[in-house]
Chains A and B, each alone.
Chain A
Amino acid sequence: MNRNNDLESIVIRIAGDSGDGIQLMGSQFAVSTALAGADFATFPDYPAEIRAPVGTTFGVSAYQINLGGGPITTAGDAPDVLVAFNPAALRVSLPMLDKGALVIVNNDTFTARNLAKAGYNKDPREDGTLNDYQVVAADISHLNLEAVKEYGLSKSEGGRCKNFYALGMLLWMFDRELPSVQEWINRRLAGTPTMRDANIKALHAGHAFAETTELSANLSQIRLPTADMEPGDYRSITGAEALALGLAAAGELADRSVMFCSYPITPASPLLHRLTHLAELGVGTFQAEDEIAAICAAIGASYGGMIGVTSSSGPGIALKTEAMGLAISAELPLVIVNWQRGGPSTGLPTKTEQSDLYQAVYGRNGDTPIPVLSASTSGECFEMAIEATRIALRHMTPVILLADGYLSNAAEPWRIPDLSDFAPIATNPVPESDESPQRRAFTRDAKSLGRAWVTPGMPGLMHRIGGLEKDINSGHISYDPANHQRMTDLRAAKVDAVAEFIGDQLIEQGPDSGDLVVVGWGSTYGPIYQATRRTGVSFIHLRHLNPLPRNLGELLGRFDKVLVPEMNNGQLTTLLRANFRVEPVSFTKVTGQPFLIRELVEKIEALRGEAA
């Protein structure tokens, strides 16, 4: 029943009104699936409007789960199973399904009014619309309300339990255990015993319903193999969770506290929320009055000796750029996380895109080079947070870490790393000398060109820093023309020096030379990995975007063609052209949705066809 010739995975899409608690249900399902040992990935897809009008197509919120035994690196292409809580959810999601997919619809919502709101003239359950699908139509709202009747809840409170009712159905269908979900409900709803008990009841009722009705037969063939994963301890993790832990780990490795300063913005806020729970790890959070204040407070914290971190999404990052220049000029460490979203302007806040690469590499006044990194998967946000901090402290510079909306919310199984595998993060010591404190503060490490981190409170080292150009030797303000040339060169050399520490670019998979290599960066890792695995072509995935790895040009030169798929209008392609003598084939997609594996496979095959 899978159209991707990818029999090891099953894609389930759960869709309903944004107020239906869809996201909660999806994330819970991910956890329970992980506990059962199957590899999985999730992809939330929720509307920009918080609680858009009930029953409308633009108020549809959805969660997609890819469930299976193979190396799953995306949330899947076309869904195999659709749970549609109302007609609008069906209308929005149906075009994504291939024929033969299983559709579970909630009969109770298929009223004339809801059908009209969804734009259906006739009932799609009866007019042949669903003929090509396996359909399970159940009175989910009604059955659920019956199940939780004894708790005396209001209609809306009782109604929300239907998520767990449906989850109970799915858990039964996919041979999942109830206890971990039940335990989660116990914890999450401990403060509201009635809601807790009602949801547990709904969960069990849905499970029982699925077991005792025919719908179970439809999926009885489905058995998920346990994923063939590397031995070790695993957990489910989103990019926001991994990045939060990574920042705390960076603080631990550097033996410094971490001060996280940010202003809420979609889809960056989950990182702020996660970090508020990590106080015991030496992490502080400050919700600033605006994006500019957020980065400025982080700079102030770095000036004070903590690891200053700020995070936002494209529009917020734009507001922070002047302050980035200050951190570059004053040579203070700083980590700036950008959870990219669809742009320009407000754009598509809840949809993913990787269109802030130019902004990260080039988007400031003056010659202001900055190291730029990107995370490829949710789990990788952990190590990239450590890497970004390491560069920031070693070179005494702000560092931009690019992630995106997909990574922020997407859960994946993550092999829990051992912190002992990470080297401590060193800072440049204050030199012992008789020279002036001003000069000592700007004494540099010969290789990294990073200066000493002198912070207020250190006796005898009082000095002044700022955004005005400073003398390359004394550290005092200087308007000397030749000095400005030298300082500009120095700032460039300092960022170039990062490449001396990051090692060579590796080939992710496939031969190390040949007719075609696919080059990606960021969250496109998943679909590119799958597509290159299926086609056997080479795959290079970049984590360091500025500076680029030293050997990258030579590596690209070994291939006849370079294909660059990215969720923007060709920004990495431009960057590669500017740095190397390559003429990549750009393959772009800016629909707010991740690449489909088959889109990439088709493109790869077409390019190979040209070559043949």
Chain B
Amino acid sequence: MSDKLMPKDFATSQEVRWCPGCGDYAILKSVQKALADGGADPANTAFVSGIGCASRFPYYVETYGFHTIHGRAPAIATGLKLANPELDVWVVTGDGDSLSIGGNHLMHALRRNVGLKILLFNNEIYGLTKGQYSPTSRVGTQSPSSPAGSVDTPVSPGQVAMGCGAHFFARGVDTDKVGMSHVLQQAHAFVGTSFVEIFQNCIVYNEDVFADFTERKTAADTQLHLKHGEPMLFGKHNDKGIRFNQDSWSLEVVDAMTSPDEVLVHDEGNAVVARMLIDLHMPVAMGVIYRQPAVSFEDAFYAHHPSRMKRKKSVRDLIKGPNSWTVD
């Protein structure tokens, strides 16, 4: 690619058909920008999705794209990545697609560390099927299938990831261009499975479910943007920090002005702190929460195929087996 591609070069001719005001529009823009900024080669990039609103995504990105079946995108993407490890393979999924019907495949992609960039659009609701509660819906969510409020405890995408042995977990908010740009760049560059939870606002069925921490006016006080090696500071004037409470074994907010030494410094490789950051409620942790590089599945797979899956021998050489005989 001699000419640098622009975000618009990653848009297709297809009319985007999400609901007006859907958070997916902003995510699409951020991804197209991340592809352009990252110098992605459209011919060497593939988006694989399952079923759901989020899974329409591949139709709108001018790369290769495969809109598959409900929940199975990580499995299909794994086969694709094995067949051609040179490809940049992205998986776009939703909370129902990846944590309900496809939970098993997400789990195994994460623990294998397959070279996939998995973008989870979490809106805590089923959109495409018209608003039923999802596995990330909070207890009490009223929906067509739970008019009296849902009773099941929601799953935490981040804790699922950590439990599965994920090596990269990050978070962003659909409309936060700066935060998304950073997170997508990091996810793109990671070797192995990068799992990104994007808080996505479903304007029709679950509007403003994340408003308590995504509202622009208050975001500085409700979001903690993590950077490796930097203190965990937030607030309009970076006047608040996060410290570890040794009595309760939990994270808590501290006044960074009066107790600057108590503020934790973010270490992406610390799995214990990562788990606590995932559960932190106010502020909500954003950015790369956990990153622990390890050999990718495809690299380990090909280590057992020194010929890179190329034929080294003919069937003719092996077909006889050790015990053949001749009949004259």
A72 to chain B, nearest CB (A): 15
Contacts A416-B319, A465-B65, A467-B67: A476 and B75 contacting too (C-beta < 8 A)?
A: no
- Contacts A235-B323, A279-B304, A306-B309: A464 and B76 contacting too (C-beta < 8 A)? no
For B301, what are the chain A residues with a Cβ–Cβ distance below 8 Å?
A: 284, 286
Q: Are B309 and A257 in contact, with the CB atoms below 8 A?
A: yes
Considering only CB atoms, which chain B residue lies closest to A282 in the complex?
Answer: B311
Known: A280-B307, A297-B75, A464-B59. A306 touches B83 (CB 8 A): yes
Q: Using a Cβ cutoff of 8 Å, how many contacts connect chains A and B?
A: 214
Across the interface, which residues of A come within 8 angstroms of B328, CB to CB? 231
Q: Report the separation of the CA atoms of residues A201 and B58 in the bound assembly, to the nearest whole angstrom.
A: 66
- Cβ distance B100 to chain A, nearest Cβ, rounded Å: 14
Nearest opposing residue in chain A for B304, CB measure: A279
- B-contacting residues, A413-464, CB 8 Å: 416-417, 419, 455-464
A261 to B42, CA, bound (A): 28
Chain B 289-327 against A: per-residue CB contact (8 Å), 1 yes, 0 no? 000000000000100110101111111101111111111
Residues of B1-59 contacting chain A, CB below 8 A: 12, 14, 42-46, 48, 58-59
Are A292 and B75 within 8 A (Cβ)?
A: yes
B305 to chain A, nearest CB (A): 5
Q: Which A residues touch B77, using CB under 8 A? A: 300
Complex: how many Å from CA A237 to CA B325? 13
**A153 CB to nearest chain B CB (Å):** 27
Given the contacts A297-B75, A467-B69, A304 and B80 also touching, CB distance less than 8 Å: yes
Looking at A18-26, A245-253, A537-545, the stretch in contact with chain B turns out to be: A245-253
Closest chain B CB from A308 CB (angstroms): 7
List, in ascending order, chain B residues with CB within 8 A of A293's CB.
Answer: 72, 75, 78, 104-105, 108
Complex CA distance for A315 and B147, rounded to whole angstroms: 37
On chain A, the residues within 8 Å of B220 by CB distance are none
Interface of A is mostly: mixed
Identify which of B42, B82, B84, B315 contacts A281 (C-beta below 8 A).
Answer: B315
Residue B79 is within 8 A (CB to CB) of chain A in the complex? yes
State how many angstroms separate the Cβ of A68 from the closest Cβ of chain B. Answer: 15
B201 lies within 8 A of chain A by Cβ: no
CB proximity to A under 8 Å, residues B81-131? 81-84, 86-87, 104-105, 107-108
Pair B79/A301 contact, Cβ less than 8 Å: yes
Q: Which residues of A contact B322 (CB under 8 A)?
A: 187
Nearest chain A CB to B164 CB, angstrom units:
11
Contact string against B for A residues 217-247, beta-carbon threshold 8 Å, 1 for contact and 0 otherwise? 0000000000001111111110001000100
| A234 contacts B325, C-beta separation under 8 Å | yes
Would you call A234 and B327 a contact (CB within 8 A)? yes
**Cβ of B304: which chain A residues have Cβ within 8 Å of it?**
279
B150 part of interface (Cβ distance < 8 Å): no
A284 lies within 8 A of B80 (CB)? no
Interface stretch among A29-37, A99-107, A350-358, A482-490? A29-37
The answer to whether B68 has its CB under 8 Å from any CB of chain A is yes
Q: In the complex where A293-B72, A466-B66 touch, is A37 in contact with B327 (Cβ < 8 A)?
A: yes
B63 at the interface (CB under 8 A from A): yes
For B1, give the chain A residue with the smallest CB separation: A459
- Given known A284-B301, A293-B72, contact A457–B86 (CB-CB < 8 A): yes
Query: Which B residues are in CB contact (< 8 Å) with A296?
Result: 68-69, 72, 75-76, 79, 105
Distance in angstroms from B165 CB to nearest chain A CB is 14
What A residues does B312 contact at CB under 8 A? 280-282
* Contact between B324 and A234, CB atoms less than 8 A apart: yes
Residue of A nearest to B77 (CB): A300
* Contact B79–A308 (Cβ < 8 Å): yes
Given contacts A233-B324, A259-B82, contact A284 B72 (CB under 8 A): no
Which of B76, B77, B301 has the largest count of A CB atoms less than 10 A from its CB?
Answer: B76
- List the B residue with the shortest CB-CB distance to A283: B309
A180 on interface, CB distance cutoff 8 Å? yes
Residue in A34, A35, A279, A323 with the greatest tally of chain B CB atoms within 10 Å: A279
CB distance from A47 to the nearest CB of B (A): 28
B62 at the interface (CB under 8 A from A): yes
A463: which of B45, B64, B86, B314 is its contact (CB, 8 Å)?
B64
Q: Complex formed: what's the CA distance from A243 to B255 in Å?
A: 69
Nearest-neighbour CB distance to chain B for A32, whole angstroms, equals: 9
Chain B residues engaging chain A, CB cutoff 8 angstroms: 12, 14, 42-46, 48, 58-59, 62-69, 72, 75-84, 86-87, 104-105, 107-108, 301, 304-305, 307, 309-316, 318-328
16 inter-chain pairs at a CB distance below 8 angstroms, sorted by A residue, are: A35-B323, A235-B324, A236-B321, A245-B319, A251-B311, A259-B83, A279-B305, A280-B312, A282-B307, A289-B104, A293-B72, A299-B76, A322-B69, A456-B84, A462-B65, A466-B67
Task: Give A contacts to B, CB under 8 Å.
Answer: 31, 34-35, 37, 180, 184, 187, 229-237, 241, 245, 248-249, 251-252, 257, 259, 261, 278-282, 284, 286, 288-290, 292-294, 296-306, 308, 322-323, 325-326, 330, 416-417, 419, 455-468, 476-477
**8 further interface pairs, Cβ-Cβ under 8 Å (given A245-B319, A293-B105, A297-B75):** A249-B319, A280-B312, A290-B104, A292-B105, A300-B75, A300-B82, A457-B86, A464-B65
The 3 lowest CB-CB distance pairs between A and B, nearest first, are A300-B79, A304-B83, A466-B67
